[in-house]
Amino acid sequence: MKLLLTSGGLRNETLRDALRDMLGKPFGAANIVYLPTAAVAEPGDHGWFVANMNQLHALGWREFDILELNGLPRQTVLDRLLHADVVYAEGGNHYHLARSITGKGLAAGILEALQSRVYVGVSAGSMIFSRNLTEHSADVIGDTADLHRLGAVTVRPPFGLFDWYLKPHLYSPGFPERDDAWADRIVSRADFPVYFIDDETAVRVSDDKVDVVSEGRWRFHP
């Protein structure tokens, strides 16, 4: 399984090169499926979403598919994932993305598809693989409001692949409160490992190997 878990997408050449290496062929020879599900749960202006999608599209894929996980038959969703070489999950509300996967019974099928595809997550899309994606971690991290916005008080991790939790947008201008003091407060409460990554960084998973690819800054607290 190959995962490139980013904070801000493929924002620099180091991250793009990492994806090319994982993919094993040029972007122009690959199909990508873009999952906007997490983004649609976010209120307000979605100019950031349009900009992100346009930047990704501009990389020149052979085929660029857009797939919303909700509302389509389960097998249709899985067939579209299987048609892609890269599965790319956009940011937004990670609880909505997780609940969409579990609620539609997609977790096992997605994991099977990812055995032979590359997954790229952006922010919320990178946060759904931890077994510590629960209402407890929501309290520890301080984003319970994002869960309650869905009319929910609980969440189940759809995959539970890792014990570590990933928190994006460290030092990001778009999230000015996410500085070292913010990270330190989370670490003081967390009873699970945490990666904090900035928008120029990704956690790369290749089978059993986990490392960090970055042109920016990041922290890991085991």
Both tokens of 13, joined, read: 């050449």
Helix (H) or strand (E) holding 100: helix 94-103
**Quick one: which of 104, 222, 220, 208 has its CA closest to 170?**
220
Global confidence as pTM: 0.97
Q: So what's the pLDDT on residue 56?
A: 98
- The pLDDT profile of the chain, 222 residues, written as one tens digit per residue, is 999 999 999 999 999 999 999 999 999 999 999 999 999 999 999 999 999 999 999 999 999 999 999 999 999 999 999 999 999 999 999 999 999 999 999 999 999 999 999 999 999 999 999 999 999 999 999 999 999 999 999 999 999 999 999 999 999 999 999 999 999 999 999 999 999 999 999 999 999 899 999 999 999 999
Q: Which residues contact 142 (CB under 8 A, 6 or more apart)?
A: 186
- The domain spans of the chain are 2-221
In sequence order, the β-bridge partners of residue 220 are 195
What φ, ψ does residue 10 adopt, rounded to 5°?
-85, 70
In sequence order, the β-bridge partners of residue 67 are none
Q: So what's the pLDDT on residue 13?
A: 98
**Quick one: which of 43, 70, 40 has its CA closest to 53?**
40
Q: So what's the pLDDT on residue 121?
A: 98
Alpha carbon distances (Å) from 39 to 45, 69, 91 = 11, 12, 6
Give the number of residues written for the chain.
Answer: 222
Cα–Cα distance measured from residue 150 to residue 129, given in angstroms and rounded to the nearest whole number: 20
CATH-assigned architecture of domain 2-221: 3-Layer(aba) Sandwich (3.40)
Q: So what's the pLDDT on residue 222?
A: 97
